[in-house]
Structure 1
């Protein structure tokens, strides 16, 4: 073979490898979560880099009879954005919790954002408390159990990422562009505690601003619901950036920046199997699921009181999607609401 032809062939092989790697990451991002799926993007890349951490229970939820196969069975994933990721991620509070379920039969992805102040029962704790306290009490292990009990579904996979990980990916991509719905300000998460200003209309955000934009709740007239929509907007913007041709050259940097910020029990091999089967998955196949409730103050402490009818409806919808329950009328579940919450 002529030297010139050999060089051309080598160039083509390198290009194919870069494209394959980019598509793998993109596919994993889409399958595991859009609403706060940036977190899972970090997780999937790091799974490929070896940052894998199994839950104490092993591969199978206690609510499963057998281990699920991501490319064959309906699955669920709990995504957690953690405020303090020190000491192996078992301290601090989970600022964001997203449950994603995927059914390979209809190729639908359902996303449920659990308000962090939801007033729930935490296994092994007396009374009721905010759901995000479960991470402070028992890390990812207890948080997974709490969500399983709240929704009466198995959680097959989890992923946690801290704030530095979120900001890192946005900065590595060169920032994102979002359409801000109204003027507001939000404190930064760093030591400066600077009030960052956001103005209605299109804005370019770096990692610091993107995190503040996704976290703001108090100035949003729709509270957690409005915040959830902004989080989805941020993820869509990240996906847009990472699918661009220029993002292909940044994949290695993304991995290096995120290595110490992520924990997951999601294996990259599972993602490869999924991608090979659902390479044509589109964001139009994503359904948003909402837990309705009301604001409640007990003493000077704020809680989000979940609406029992809404909770039962959400449980039923997710259980049907996971093929645990037959379609029809929601089962009559009961959620304790009389116990006095703790501060």
Structure 2
């Protein structure tokens, strides 16, 4: 787990809480031609809204429904690959980032969850890779799996596909990023080795940025999660820059057709205080573990139990949810749901 102290960012960078592209656009819409962009954003959120399907639309780990204006809340960001070769509702999740927000502290914690993590999937009633949950039940199954695994309430979700990623980067005329190594990767249409990148600081278009975010052939699933966080921060940084002001409409269009969320526009606006807070702290955290093959021949990432409990307590404490007794710190518990 990354134990470095939380990094403090400049005002612009503090607005770019990792993958919160939609939130950033709402902040950006206040800079210029706000009325038009606000109306467009409102329409996009309405069209993209999709409830989880849980009782009272709230987590069973909560006493009731929360409000991001008043409460500490969590948001699960789900990245899926639903190109023309895949069914969007039955695709596996390719990226999972759980964010917790603390109103009083003005802080955000971002947890990247490796897609190959070996966990119990409640809808399947057996353990397998965490990214299988989405294929067998969409956002709800993914949320229930993470809540069962970490015992941390997941209040909201935002699901975006690879098309949104590529189109957003292209709408912003690319992002600058330091590519760590020479690499070849498939493009968004699964054309093998279609993307070839050399190491070094360079301007990446949507396909190049996606290839770098997706690849895990050259390091590990954990390092890929960290790289995704940094790439998404650069996207958000570009989206909030003055040079991108008049590109926001194109970015909104890219996001709108490729997103699903249970957040309402009023709830999204409740997060703006984090972006406008000059003292906001953003901290990236990760689960420790080891990858390897199991008896069934599959490769899995085994999260260390000590790390899981530590992250669980860290996130529950950040949400100011009562910590669990040690006897209740049991993952893969079929009876939890």
Do the aligned partners of 2:171 and 2:247 also contact (CA within 8 Å) in 1?
yes
Once residues 42 and 192 of structure 1 are traced to their aligned partners in structure 2, the CA distance between those partners, rounded to angstroms, is 32
Shift of 1:197: 2.2
Match of 1:76 among 67, 74, 77: 74
**Contact 1:101/1:321, CA 8 A, preserved across alignment:** yes
2:303 matched residue in structure 1: 306
* Cα deviation, residue 288, structure 1: 1.2
* 1:9 match: none
User: In the alignment, which residue of structure 2 is the partner of 1:60?
Assistant: 58
Change in CA separation of 1:190 and 1:89 when aligned onto 2, cut-off 3 Å: closer
Shift of 1:121: 0.4
Tell me, which stretches of 5 or more residues in structure 1 are unaligned?
1-25, 338-343
Question: Secondary structure at the residue paired with 2:320?
Answer: coil
**Count of matched residue positions in the alignment of Structure 1 and Structure 2:** 305
Q: Considering Cα pairs closer than 8 Å and 6+ residues apart, tell me whether 1 or 2 has the greater RCO.
A: 2
Q: Distance in 2 between matches of 1:256 and 1:207?
A: 15
Residues 1:136 and 2:135 aligned together: yes
Which secondary structure state, in structure 1, belongs to the residue aligned with residue 246 of structure 2? helix
Contact 2:83 2:189 in 1 (8 A): no
Distance 1:29 1:104, change over 3 A: same
Q: Quick check: 1:188–1:195 contact (8 Å CA) kept in 2?
A: yes
Relative to 1, partners in 2 of residues 1:218 and 1:37: Cα closer, same or farther, differing over 3 Å?
farther
Residue number in structure 2 paired with 1:10: none
The TM-score normalised by the length of structure 2 is 0.82
Q: Secondary structure at the match of 2:105?
A: coil
Q: How does 1:198-213 map to 2 (within 5 A)?
A: 198-213=197-212
Structure 2 distance, partners of 1:179, 1:282, is 27
Q: Distance in 2 between matches of 1:40 and 1:207?
A: 20
1:101-127 alpha-carbon deviations (Å, 9 max, x no partner): 000011110000110011000003232
Q: CA deviation at 1:241?
A: 1.3
The CA deviation at 1:48 is 5.2
1:261 aligns with 2:255: no
CA shift digits 1:259-305 (9 cap, x unpaired): 32100011221232332x44533596111111111112124311111
Stretches of structure 2 that go unaligned for 5 or more consecutive residues are 1-11, 28-39
* Structure 2 equivalent of residue 115 of structure 1: 114
Find the residue that maps to 1:90 and give its secondary structure: helix
Rg larger in structure = 1
Give how far 1:335 is off. Answer: 2.7
Instruction: Give 1:1-343 correspondences, 5 Å limit.
Output: 30=16, 33-34=17-18, 36-38=19-21, 49=44, 50=46, 51-57=48-54, 58-84=56-82, 89-220=88-219, 223-275=220-272, 277-281=273-277, 285-298=281-294, 299-325=296-322, 333-336=329-332
Aligned to 1:16: none
TM-score calculated relative to the size of structure 1? 0.80
